[in-house]
């Protein structure tokens, strides 16, 4: 059974940094693209970033380019999101998700972690 | 970016009745190379992550009850729940994966009447 567990969220001041982690199990992690998707409180879903199986390709939504970095460690079955220069509008639950099918780096998601809440506030 | 617009924003349906949710994309998500619509539907219950229901606009994910069905092509899509059950109360999202960035509809909240 596919199992994803996100962690690392918390309260951070504007301009601060945070690193999210996602531990994967139950499937061959190195065979899948992986994504981060976020959901602001009471709002809809927004894809944030994804990364190819070997880490050779990474894509980001425009609003986080230059501030967020997605990475992975296939030996540890883990996905990461380094978030710098955080803004109030980055406040959201962040989900790691397994990409089921991708075309040109755009994917849909067949498994999701429970999410980790990031709050950016002074 | 492709804009996904769902209607209605909220919907109340009686138990056992049909529920219909619409999703419209600002441009076609039908790929001419394979004649497939790059459109998915997710269900999100309160306090839970989203769950994949439908992909390629009409293919039901494994384990999803057959009362859920997806239809449509090009720019107009529909998610239908043929006979609403209490456990179907949730917010439903469509998503296109035709072009970057993958974008979601705003969500449709489904409740029991």
Q: What is the 3-state secondary structure (H, E, C) of chain A?
A: CCEEEEECCEEECCCCCEEEEEEEECCCHHHCCEEEEEECCCCCEEEEEEECCCCCCEEECHHHCCCEEEEEEHHHCEEEEEECCCCHHHCEEEEEEEEEEEECCEEEEEEECCCEEEEECC
Q: What pLDDT does B60 receive? A: 98
Q: What pLDDT does A103 receive? A: 87
Whether A61 sits inside 8 A of B40 (CB atoms) is no
Q: What is the average pLDDT across A3-15?
A: 98
Rounded to the nearest integer, the mean pLDDT of chain B is 97
Half-sphere exposure of B28 (CA within 13 A, CB side): 7
Instruction: Read off the pLDDT band of B102 (50, 70, 90).
Output: very high
CA separation for the pair A42, A21 (Å, rounded): 23
Of A44, A102, A103, the CB nearest to B106: A44
Chain B residues in contact with A107 by the CB 8 A cut-off are: 97, 102
Chain A residues in contact with B51 by the CB 8 A cut-off are: 112
CA separation for the pair A51, A70 (Å, rounded): 7
Q: What is the average pLDDT across B20-30?
A: 98
Of A47, A62, A110, the CB nearest to B61: A110
pLDDT at B99 over 90: yes
pLDDT at A3 over 90: yes
Quick: pLDDT tens for A82-109.
999 999 999 999 999 999 988 888 999 9
Q: What pLDDT does B17 receive? A: 98
Q: What pLDDT does B110 receive? A: 98
List Cα–Cα distances, B19 to A25, A87, B56, in angstroms. 36, 39, 20
Quick: pLDDT tens for A17-52.
999 999 999 999 999 999 999 999 999 999 999 999
Chain A residues in contact with B105 by the CB 8 A cut-off are: 44
Question: CA of A105 to nearest chain B CA: how many angstroms apart?
Answer: 7
Q: Which residue out of A2, A4, A44 would a mutagenesis test of the B interface target, given it has the greatest number of B Cβ atoms within 10 Å?
A: A44
**Helix, coil or strand: residue A74:** helix
CB contacts < 8 A (A, B): 65
Q: What pLDDT does B77 receive? A: 98
Instruction: Read off the pLDDT band of A1 (50, 70, 90).
Output: very high
């Amino acid at each position: 059974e596919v199992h994803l567990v996100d962690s690392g969220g918390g309260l951070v001041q504007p301009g601060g940094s945070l690193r999210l982690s996602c531990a994967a199990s139950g499937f061959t992690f190195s065979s899948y693209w992986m994504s981060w998707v976020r959901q602001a409180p009471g709002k809809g879903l927004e894809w944030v970033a994804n990364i190819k199986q070997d880490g050779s390709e990474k894509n980001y939504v425009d609003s986080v380019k230059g501030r967020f970095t997605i990475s992975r460690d296939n030996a540890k079955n883990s996905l990461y999101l380094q978030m710098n220069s955080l803004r109030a509008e980055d406040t959201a639950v962040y989900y790691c998700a397994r990409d089921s099918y991708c075309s040109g780096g755009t994917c849909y998601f067949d498994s999701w972690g429970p999410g980790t809440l990031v709050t950016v506030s002074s | 970016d492709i804009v996904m617009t769902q209607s209605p924003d909220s919907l109340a349906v009686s138990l056992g009745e049909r529920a219909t949710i619409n999703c419209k994309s600002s441009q076609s998500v039908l790929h001419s190379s394979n004649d497939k619509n790059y459109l998915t539907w997710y269900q999100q219950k309160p306090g839970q992550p989203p769950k994949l229901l439908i992909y390629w606009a009409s293919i039901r994910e494994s384990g999803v009850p057959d009362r859920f069905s997806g239809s449509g092509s090009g720019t107009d899509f529909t998610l239908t729940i043929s006979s609403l059950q209490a456990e179907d109360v949730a917010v439903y999202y469509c998503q296109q994966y035709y072009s970057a960035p993958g974008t979601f509809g705003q969500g449709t909240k489904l409740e029991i009447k």
